[in-house]
Amino acid sequence: MRTHPIIEMAELEAFERAAREGSFTRAADELGLTQPSISARIASLEKTLGCEMFERGGRHLKMTTAGKVFLPYARRILATMQDGMEAVDRCVSGRMGSLSMVAMNAQALYILPEPMARFRQMYPAVDLSIRLRAPDEIRDMLLDGEAVLGLTGAPMWAKGLIVHATFHEAVRPTVSTHHALAQRQQEQGGRLSVTDLYDHIIYRITLSPNVTALVENIAEAARQGSGGAVIQIPATMGISLLIQGQGVAFLPENAVRRHINDGRLVFLNITDIPPLVDEVLLVSLKGRALDVPAKEFVRILRDVWRDMLVD
């Protein structure tokens, strides 16, 4: 089998610089080498290629025909190598690469947009993927390496995961300002009972397990209000239906804060249920070191939601 000649990058660099400067001496000065070192590298290149790159003996350094033919290829190789080194540097420094994340729907709705916007400003060349899944699927995707970071509800039973942040967010029953319950709340001095919900559709939206369990108990008692059906929907769909004046949903305050402020939705004050808190965990696979983009996303998310941070 024929072996291919090996050309060192230092030889290509010496050749290209000598061609550019028109002098071995000036090429040596530019590269911080001695003139004999430049001459030796070019001689080694010529030996490998089997021909001379420069004409010797004249007062001015001139390239041979072979040298002129080879020069653009040498420059292309050097430029490609430089591009590769810069790409690696950007990757190591976190200025490029990829970050995959998986999150629950309701939490992603309000927790991720601002951190994502900040992250994109700082790392515009990093590929970013965010997928929405149920808690069990979030755990599986992290364990299988399909995602690097996960945003899920507490408690977390998977032993192979590590928690980077814990957030607490108040959960409130929410309706349209035009909903019958909003009107009843005004009539009753801003106070309602959980039984007031039973004649209305309650949308089941997955939050952390403890909150979800309580809401499901209420929804079971309120089946009559939805014609006996269980209605399980994503948070985004639930908010849209609420704005249209349909049903009740238990949602994190920040998920609907904008619609509360603009007067389209209102929180219900149910006096006979305890305060509800959605506990959200930012997790990753234990033993898997986070690269720069992932570490930065964790830092940014913690900074944006420091008022909800409890650890």
Question: Is the confidence at residue 2, as pLDDT, over 60?
Answer: no
Res 41: pLDDT: 94
Res 86: pLDDT: 67
Question: Is the confidence at residue 71, as pLDDT, over 70?
Answer: yes
User: Helix 253-261 to helix 235-243 angle, to the nearest 10 degrees?
Assistant: 30
Q: How far is CA 25 from the centre of its chain?
A: 51
The dihedral built from the CA positions of residue 32, 35, 36 and 40, taken in this order, carries a sign that is positive
Res 281: pLDDT: 95
Question: Is the confidence at residue 96, as pLDDT, over 80?
Answer: no
Are the C-beta atoms of residues 276 and 174 closer than 8 Å to each other?
no
Domains, the chain, in order of start with CATH, read 9-93 (1.10.10.10), 94-311 (3.40.190.290)
Question: Is the confidence at residue 95, as pLDDT, over 70?
Answer: no
Are the C-beta atoms of residues 139 and 158 closer than 8 Å to each other?
yes
The 10s digit of each residue's pLDDT in 16-38 is 999 988 999 999 998 999 999 99
Q: What confidence category does residue 245 fall into, taking pLDDT thresholds of 50, 70 and 90?
A: very high
At 174, phi and psi to the nearest 5?
-135, 140
Q: What confidence category does residue 1 fall into, taking pLDDT thresholds of 50, 70 and 90?
A: very low
Distance CA 10, CA 115 (A): 45
Res 80: pLDDT: 85
Res 5: pLDDT: 74
Residues whose CB falls within 8 Å of the CB of residue 18, separated by 6 or more in sequence, listed in order: 24, 27, 38, 42, 54, 61
Distance CA 227, CA 98 (A): 47
Distance CA 53, CA 15 (A): 8
Question: Mean pLDDT over residues 141-146, rounded?
Answer: 88
* ∠ CA 182-186-191, rounded to 5°: 90
Distance CA 222, CA 60 (A): 96
Are the C-beta atoms of residues 24 and 35 closer than 8 Å to each other?
yes
Q: Is 285 exposed, middle or buried (0-12, 13-18, 19+ CB in 10 A)?
A: buried
